[in-house]
Amino acid sequence: MKRIATIAALPVLALMIPAAARAQAADAAKTPQDEAPSSTAPQPAGDDILVTARRREERLQDVPVAISAVSGDTLQSRAITNVEGLRFAVPALVISPSPFGAASPGYTIRSQRQLESIISQDPSVGIYFADIVQQRPQGTNVSLYDIASAQVLKGPQGTLFGRNTTGGAVLITPARPVFDPGASIAITVGDYGQCVVTGIANLPLSSKLAMRVAGNLTRRDGFFDNVATGLKVDSQRTESGRVSLLWEPDDRFSSLTIGTYFHEDDAGLGFFPYTVRPGSAAAATPGYQAEFAAAQRRGDRTVSNNLQPVVRIESYSASNTSTLKLGEVTLKNIFGYRNVKTFGSFDFDASAVTLFESRNDFSSEQWTEEFQLLGKIGPSIDFITGAYWFNERGRDTQNSVLFGTRANDGLGDNTSYSVFAQGDWKLSRALTLTLGARYTWDERSLFTFNRLNGQCRLTANNVPVGSPGAQRLDPCIRHTAVDFRAPTWLATLSWRPVEDVMLYGTYSRGYRSGGLPLRANLPAETRPFAPEFVDNFELGLKSELLDRRVRFNIAAYYDKYRDIQRTLSFGSPLTTVVLNAADAKIWGGEADLMVRPANWLELNATAAYSKNEYGSFTGPGLGDLSGNRFAFAPEFVYTLGGRLIAPMPDASGELSVRLDWFHQSSIFVTDINDIPIPAYGTLDAGAEWRDVLGRPFDLRVFVKNVTDEHYFSGGVSSYPSTGLTGFFPGAPRHFGVEFKAHFGSVR
């Protein structure tokens, strides 16, 4: 491991050596006046939003990519405190909790999502923090504090962000250190025992070195009672911290190092039994029918789970981004490390009866290294090219009770290499052609140790136990290795008929790596599954009108989706496999509208429509699912919002109020399309007084789910096997009050 870290650090050292030499000869030091006045959401004049969708900083309106961006200021004013909350601001991003807690969510963009998170299968949506991929969703629903921006890129991002972004990518960018002192402390209190403390300090250590330290502590009692254990469920208990160090010895070299820590130990999600199939295994289990009837009488805000849901997560990471400017060429090196460990328990039968229960232990360690070369060729071509390396090792263990005792245990090793290039060729003042390509090599290795009722299910590479050829110490160990390779590409033509209007058309291909089944209980079902591919055809419009008082962006797309990876459970004894079982077509669109009729009023509307349909889908025990909808893919999601700034006397601060409405159409939790989660809508409200009476204090009040809507945030169905479908109750109405003191560069 030390050798890998040393190799990965060599490009960083290569960039730093000449920079250090130049620093000694620097004539002038930076002054605080040279720095941006705020590091929370540094935006240029005209309320421009800066994004990094093409791995360099650009205006949102200048990028021919379907993207939604939320600034750090907006996250604060809307009381969006974790990654899961982004779905209420960006309808194209659907986030729903997994059985093992909201801290390990499933992400859906343009109908694409991985339904199960395992070490040997990669997701459809990439999550990035400070330009470093968070390969596994476990532990990605972290607290959002001291954030510069959150960006959601829609559609395949296979050229610049690599494999496993067939649906899109989510980019979280933390605030950078600045060379101006500042600090803030914020305390939030609310009902359900809520208490949140966030502290930020920005420290210029010299004219060339600055440090930023931020931390967050969150406590909240559970929203719902679990009558089977007498405890609460759906609570929050997290601690997290971040240290960032920025070294800028001169105006050509920059090195940013970030270290993070996150810890969570709380009660997981309650599980409410929504339906049980007559004649099923659940219906025939003694006592289950009475449990189900009692649950319906109590209502969906009380659960009875005899296995108390538990979520424990610990993760830490380190990254370094170093940039060296050499005239028209820039060298950039991005190194990352992440370690995550999780434990979760979940009662799949949603009752006090022991029918289907599970416990999951997961751990992984990942290293990434990326080198980029950015520059210009003449006056009309901008380019970026580079190479990427990724390695991950992890263990995924799940122990379950379901028609006997089961142990699914896997040890995975995943490595990926890729090279890429993309360029913008300005054909004329108004017309630009973008071409990009990437080639990826993936290698996977998986050891499995699966047992049913203590007996081996997967003998050592199919060698019968006790036979003369069986020489393994543990006859249950089965090893499989496989590799994949594929090109991805992008072609975009953008046209600016006038300065503030851009139209574009894109054709791109996305690639999601193949993998290996982890939870199979039959040797014949351990065969690898192949990669899946998406061909994306997209048209878009970006516009700013009426002196930038109106911003309207819209995109329409059509995707051809083939070799789709789907997780299927079937057989007796029950086995779970991943197969390339389907192909499909997806079409839809997204729209974002901002209107500012006056300086004191801003109105927003966003919408995402995604229609999907399997062209063919057959699998063991499923029958023909052709024509069915995807699981966890709502057809329509929209938001409506408004912010009003109230008139105040001079030097009294700024007082604003806002309302935000969110609506999501019904979704299915399986591709069988058996039982849907009903559509729902929630209303949030908030008021904020900045610089109270001209002092460096802020006061904010918020109410979530003002109408106390009963809804479900996600669910799990084992309807074909056990006859059960259950849903996770959504958060009830709750409120909070935040007090913040701040000074200097930190808001």
For residues 663 and 707, the answer to whether their CB atoms sit within 8 Å is no
CA 133 to chain centre: 10
Sign of CA dihedral 274, 277, 282, 284: positive
CA–CA gap between residue 594 and residue 713 (Å, rounded) = 27
Burial of 142 (0-12, 13-18, 19+ CB in 10 A): buried
What sign does the dihedral 509-514-519-521 (CA atoms) show? positive
Give domain status of residue 724, yes or no.
yes
Stronger pLDDT, 447 or 662, i.e. the higher one: 662
Q: Who's near 371: CB < 8 A, 6+ residues apart?
A: 11, 331, 332, 333, 334, 386, 387
Least confidently predicted of 270-284, 442-456, 543-557? 442-456
Average pLDDT, stretch 191-217?
97
The dihedral sign for the CA sequence 57, 61, 64, 67: positive
Average of pLDDT values for 155-182?
92
Task: Provide the pLDDT for residue 478.
Answer: 78
The 3-class secondary structure across 165-202, one letter per residue, is CCCEEEEEEECCCCCCCEEEEEEEEECCCEEEEEEEEE
Bridging pattern class, strands 168-174 and 125-129:
parallel
**pLDDT grade for 404, boundaries at 50, 70 and 90:** low
The Cα 423–Cα 727 span in angstroms is 46
Average pLDDT over residues 305-333: 96
Residue that the structure tokens 């160090």 belong to: 245
Task: Please report whether residue 715 resides in a domain.
Answer: yes
pLDDT of residue 12 exceeding 70, the answer is: no
Give pLDDT, residue 146.
96
Span 129-144, mean pLDDT? 91
Q: Cα angle at 67 between 62 and 73, to 5 degrees?
A: 90
The closest of 151, 145, 143 to 172, measured between CA atoms, is 151
Instruction: Choose the weakest-confidence range: 310-324, 364-378, 563-577, 705-719.
Output: 563-577
Is 70 exceeded by the pLDDT of residue 1?
no
The answer to whether the CB of 745 falls within 8 A of the CB of 181 is yes
In a domain, 319, yes or no: no
What's the pLDDT score for residue 671? 87
Rounded CA separation 324/322 (Å): 7
Query: Which range in 159-173, 531-545, 711-725 is most confidently predicted, on average pLDDT?
Result: 531-545
Angle at 236 between CA 219 and CA 399, to 5 degrees: 145
**Cβ(698)–Cβ(687) under 8 Å?**
no
Q: How confident is the model at residue 9 (pLDDT cuts 50, 70, 90)?
A: very low
Q: Which of 176, 165, 191, 155 is nearest to 64 (CA)?
A: 155
**Alpha carbon of residue 390 to chain centroid:** 18
Domain membership of residue 511 (yes or no) is no
Residue 42 has pLDDT above 50, yes or no: no
Mean of pLDDT over the chain: 88
**Residue 616 bridge partners (DSSP):** 583
Q: How confident is the model over 25-37, as a mean pLDDT?
A: 39
* Residues in contact with 65: Cβ distance below 8 Å, sequence separation at least 6, in sequence order: 53, 54, 153, 155, 506
pLDDT bin (cut points 50, 70, 90) of residue 15 is very low
CA dihedral 134, 135, 138, 144 (to 10 degrees): 20
pLDDT exceeds cutoff 90 at 307:
yes
Dihedral angle, C-alpha 144, 148, 154, 157, nearest 10 °:
-110
Number of domains in the chain: 1
The mean pLDDT of 114-121, rounded to a whole number, is: 83
**Contact call for residues 487 and 437 (beta carbons, < 8 A):** yes
Which pLDDT score is estimated for 403?
A: 67
The rounded distance, in Å, linking the Cα atoms of 111 and 169 is 13
Return the structure tokens found at 587: 């079409």
Give the span between the Cα atoms of 574 and 593, in whole angstroms.
Answer: 49
**Average pLDDT for 510-517:** 92
What SS3 class is residue 61?
helix
* Residue 457: band (very low, low, confident or very high) from pLDDT cuts 50, 70, 90: low
Give the count of beta carbons closer than 10 Å to the beta carbon of residue 693: 11
Is 432 a member of any domain?
Answer: no
User: Do residues 213 and 177 make contact, with C-beta atoms less than 8 angstroms apart?
Assistant: no
Contact 236, 263 (CB under 8 A): no
Q: Report if residue 482 sits inside a domain.
A: no
- Residue 458 falls inside a structural domain: no
Average confidence (pLDDT) over 155-167: 87
Confidence of residue 606 (pLDDT cuts 50, 70, 90): very high
By C-alpha distance, which of 610, 594, 592 is closest to 602?
594
Q: Higher-confidence residue: 524 or 53?
A: 53
At 31 the pLDDT is 40
Of 527 and 697, more confident: 697
Mean pLDDT of 624-636: 91
Range 450-468 average pLDDT:
54
Q: What is the rounded distance in angstroms from the CA atom of residue 147 to the CA atom of residue 421?
A: 29
Tokens of 61: 């309106």
Percent of the chain with pLDDT over 70: 88
Compute CA distances 76 → 41, 70, 144, 188, 701, whole Å: 11, 10, 9, 12, 11
Domain that holds residue 698: 2-30+43-311+345-363+525-744
β-bridge mates for residue 26, sequence order: none
Angle at 536 between CA 530 and CA 538, to 5 degrees: 170
Radius of gyration of the chain (CA): 26
- C-alpha distance from residue 394 to each of 302, 444, 659, 689 (Å): 36, 12, 43, 47
In this structure, what DSSP letter does residue 301 have?
A: T
Percent of the chain with pLDDT over 90: 69
Is residue 65 one of the residues assigned to a domain? yes
Confidence of residue 523 (pLDDT cuts 50, 70, 90): low
- Which tops the pLDDT comparison, 448 or 593? 593
3-state DSSP helix/strand/coil percent for the chain, to nearest 5? 10, 55, 35
CATH code, domain with 160: 2.40.170.20
